[in-house]
Amino acid sequence: MTDQSIPEATSQNPSPAVPAPTKADAPTRAGVSRRQLLGTAGATGLVLGAAGAAVGYTAAPVGATPLTSLGADRAMFHGKHQPGITDPLQACGHLIAFDLAPGAGRKEAAALLRRWSATAERLMAGQPSDHGDTGVALDAGPSSLTVTFGFGHSFFDRTGLQRQRPSALDPLPDFSSDQLDKARSNGDLWVQIGANDALVAFHALRALQKDAGGAARVRWQMNGFNRSPGATAHPMTARNLMGQVDGTRNPKPSDPDFDQRLFVPANGEPAWMANGSYVVVRRIRMLLDDWEKLSLTQQENVIGRRKSDGAPLSGGTETTAMDLEKTGKDGSYVVPVNAHARITRPDQNGGAAMLRRPFSYHDGFGTDGTPDAGLLFICWQADPLRGFVPVQRKLDRGDALSQYVRHEASGLFAVPGGAAKGEYVGQRLLEG
C-alpha cells in the first residue's frame, strides 16, 4: 500500500449520460443477442480504454434495458504494451498463477501462450472463445475486459531459457513483515484478468483455465473487486477496505518520465522484454478488527491523510503537495514521522515510484469472526529493485500502518511488451 493513485488519464471517469430510450428504441423481444449487442456498440462508438457509467431506468423491464457504455467499453489486445497496466481500474478482477505440468517445456509453453493470446483477443473484443465456449458471457459486451500475461523466475528453468532470464526477476528480499504462504506465492506463469462485469471476468478466467489443458496446472488463484465505474457522483480515487482514499501519488502519463519509470525501453535488456514491465503482486491482509478500534484521528495519523477526502494532514486538497515540515502548536510534525504517506513518498525514497493498480478482496470470515480481507497489491515498474524494493524496505523500518496489515503472499513476474498483430504474447522469448 503506497501513497499513489491511478493516472488522471485513466481514472474512473463516467461517460456522458445516455438519453433515456423512447418506445421506438425498445427491443421487440426480451433480451439482446450478441450480434445485436455488438452492433449497438459499433453504432454508438466504443470508448477504448475508458471506464463508462451505467445508466439506470426506473421500473424498466430487464429486457428493455439498452446496452450501456459500461458493457460497450473495449480495451485493445494488440499494442505496444500489454493491456491491464495503464487501463482504468475495473470493478472485478482475477489473479491466477500456473505451473507448467511435469514434462512440459518450451514447446508446450509456446503453444499455450499462442492459445491464451488468441482467446484473450477474442474475449476482449466481446466474442466467444473459438472452442468450447461456456456461454457465461452471452449477451454481454467487452465490459473493459483486459487479460495480461507474465513469466515467473521458475519459468525459465522449466523451459531451458535461463540465459534469457532478466536480472530484474531475481527473487525479492525478505521483509520483516512477511508471513508468506509459499503455496500462494510465485509460479511459472501469471495471468491478470480485469473487467467491469463479474460474469465477463469469470468467463475469461474459465476459458483460460480450460485452455491450459495438460500443459499447465493452477498453482493459486485470487479474486478481487473495486468500486464500479459511475458508482460515485464524480470521478475520485478509490477507497480501500480501511475506508481510506488509497493511491494519491501514482505516476501519471503526463509525467515526462512516466514511460521510463514503468516500462523497459525498446533498446533495453533482455531484448524480448522491450516495452514490457515488472509486476509485484502481494496479498496483504488488513487487520480490520484492530484498525476499526482506532479513533478517526488515530487512523488519520497512521496514514498521514484525512479520511474524508484524502487531503494531507498539512492541509489543502487530495492533490496538494504534502508539507512534511509543518508543525502544530506543540511543535510536533502535523504529518507524523512514521505516517504511511510520508514514508512512501518518492522524494523520501530516492525517487522510487511504481504504478499501483490493486484490487480489494474478501475471502470470508474465520471461526472467530475475523475477516479475511484486504488488498491484492499490484504494482508496475521498469525495475523492481528501483521501484518496489526500496519503498518496502523503508516501510519495514517503521511504517505506522505495518501493525494493521500482514503480507501473506507474494510474487514477481516479468510481463513482456504487447503482442503485435499476428503475434502471441511472449513469442519473442519463446521463439527467439
**Element of type H or E holding 92:** strand 92-100
On average, the pLDDT of the chain sits at 86
Q: What is the mean pLDDT of residues 356-376?
A: 97
Find the mean pLDDT for residues 97-106: 98
What is the length of the chain? 432
Q: Is the preceding peptide bond at 270 cis, omega within 30 degrees of 0?
A: yes
The predicted structure's pLDDT at residue 61: 43
Residues 80 and 417 sit within 8 Å (Cβ to Cβ): yes
Q: Is the dihedral of CA 224, 274, 432, 386 positive or negative?
A: negative
**Would you say residue 19 has pLDDT above 60?**
no
Residues whose CB is less than 8 angstroms from the CB of residue 302 and which lie 6 or more positions away in sequence, other chains included: 294, 339, 340, 400, 401, 404
Strand, helix or coil for residue 182: helix
User: Mean pLDDT across the stretch 236-262?
Assistant: 91
What is the chain's percent helix, strand, coil content, to nearest 5?
Answer: 25, 20, 55
Q: Identify the pLDDT of residue 83.
A: 98
| 320: containing domain | 68-430
| Mean predicted confidence (pLDDT) in 331-354 | 86
Is 39 contained in some domain? no
* CA–CA separation, 4 and 352 (whole Å): 12
d(CA 26, CA 29): 9
pLDDT > 90? residue 146? yes
pLDDT exceeds cutoff 60 at 89: yes
The confidence score (pLDDT) of residue 147 equals 98
pLDDT per residue as tens digits for the range 109-130: 999 999 999 999 999 999 999 8
Does residue 233 form part of some domain? yes
Residue 34 lies in a domain: no
Predicted pLDDT of residue 68 = 59
Pick from 288, 103, 136, 309: which is nearest to 207 by CA? 136
Q: How many Å apart are CA 208 and CA 115, to the nearest integer? A: 9
In a domain, 336, yes or no: yes
Least confident of 47-56, 234-243, 419-428: 47-56
3 state SS for 112-142: HHHHHHHHHHHHHCCCCCCCCCCCCCCCCCC
The helix (run of H) or strand (run of E) holding residue 189 is strand 189-195
Instruction: Tell me 166's DSSP state.
Output: -
Give the pLDDT of residue 1: 62
User: Each residue of 324-333: pLDDT tens digit?
Assistant: 999 999 999 9
Closest CA to 147 of 212, 114, 191: 191
Q: What number is the average pLDDT over the span 271-290? A: 98
Give mean pLDDT, residues 287-302.
Answer: 98
Domain assignment present for residue 48? The answer is no
Confidence band, pLDDT 50/70/90 cuts, at residue 231: confident
pLDDT tier, 158 (very low <50, low <70, confident <90, very high otherwise): very high
The model's pLDDT over 208-225, given as tens digits with 9 standing for 90+, comes to 999 999 999 999 999 999
Examine the pLDDT at 311 and tell me if it is beyond 60. yes
Please state the domain count of the chain.
1
Indicate which residues carry an active-site annotation. Answer: 246
Instruction: Classify residue 16: in a domain, yes or no.
Output: no
Q: Which amino acid is at 27?
A: P
Please, are residues 411 and 273 in contact by the beta-carbon 8 Å criterion? no
Instruction: Tell me the mean pLDDT in the region 13-33.
Output: 40
Report the pLDDT value the prediction gives residue 53, as an integer from 0 to 100: 35
Span 78-89, average pLDDT: 96
| 308 assigned to some structural domain | yes
> Residue 2's pLDDT is what?
56
